[in-house]
Structures are given as C-alpha cells and as structure tokens.
Amino acid sequence: MSHGVSQLRTDARQNRDRIVEVAGALFAERGIDVPMAAIARHAEVGVATLYRRFPTREALVTEVFAEQFAACTGVLDDALTDPDPWRGFCTLVARLCAMQAADRGFAAAALEAFPDVLDCDRETARGLAAFAGLVHRAQAAGRLRPDFEPGDLLMVLQANCGVDDSARLVTYLLDGFAAQ
C-alpha cells in the first residue's frame, strides 16, 4: 500500500481499497482504458472521491499494478540467478508472457510503461540492462540464436497480447529463438 494510506480514516481507506480492487478487475477484463467514471460507479464512490485518492489514471494504474510490476522484477531476478542462461531466458519469457496473458490491463500498463510506475525510467533501464546481459550469456553459451536482440522482448510481448493460447505461442517462439 502507498505511503500515507494507513493514516486515512477507516471509511476513506475502505473507499480507496474498493477503488483499487474494482479498477484491477475492470482493467483485467477490459484493459486500462476503462473510463474513470465507470470505475467510480462500480466502486460505488463519487468521481470526486476517486480523483481525490488518485488524481490521474497513471496514479491508479501504478497502485493497481504495483504488485505485478514487483513480480516482474522478481521474475527477472530469478532468471538472472539461474546458472543456465538459456533456461533463465526461457523461464523469463514464459513467465512474463503468462503474467501478460492472465491480465489484459497489466499487459497494457507494462507496454505503455507509465513514467511513475515504480520509478519506471530507472527500473526499465535496470531491467533492460540485466536482460541484455542474460541474452549475451545465453548467446555466448551457444543456446540463443546470435541475431536475437534484447529489444526483441518487446516484440514478443506485443505478439503475445490478446493471444488465446499464450503458452503455445511462447513454445513456438522459444523454439525459434534457440540456436541451430
């Protein structure tokens, strides 16, 4: 929970928690473009209450998906610590795509990379540098094709967006990424 939430009155905290819960459900179902008024209506609060707690859509998205973004960091860290860089690469791609497939709203949030989501510039730069290191290790081990570039991960995530059978797509993609 964000700093200062514990200082809210009980009813204000309940409203805030309900807004986050409802927004998460609507984002997962419809994507992050759900109108703020619809979120307020489903959370049974006024639009002014919603904006008092979350002055921008980005602030609401940040709060709703904070745990998922932290989970992405954990997936990356797990992949980096795997002694087999190819297995780490495959696990990272499969887990990120599974997370993306499970929640359409999170996929949109991740791909749009709102600037205030987990200090996105710093975290994105760290994540990309770490992923690039993993890519180079897997290529040096002769397991990942030499023409794969770290930026291709975005293409993978874009291809995975809205696919009915994400796991099958990922299997095909990983087979294609394997060095011959």
Q: Which residue, chain included where needed, has tokens 């791909």?
A: 111
Show the tokens assigned to 55: 């002055």
Q: 31: which DSSP letter?
A: -
Burial class, 26, CB count within 10 angstroms (exposed 0-12 / middle 13-18 / buried 19+): buried
Which segments of the chain have a pLDDT < 50? 1, 3, 113-118
Which residue, among 126, 17, 117, 112, has the nearest Cα to 65 in the 3D structure?
117
This prediction's pTM: 0.71
pLDDT at 113: 47
Question: How far is Cα of residue 16 from the mean position of the Cα atoms in its chain?
Answer: 22
Q: Which residue, chain included where needed, has tokens 């770490």?
A: 130
Question: How far is Cα of residue 127 from the mean position of the Cα atoms in its chain?
Answer: 12
CB neighbours of residue 10 within 10 Å: 7
pLDDT at 95: 94
Phi (first) and psi of residue 66, to 5 degrees: -55, -45
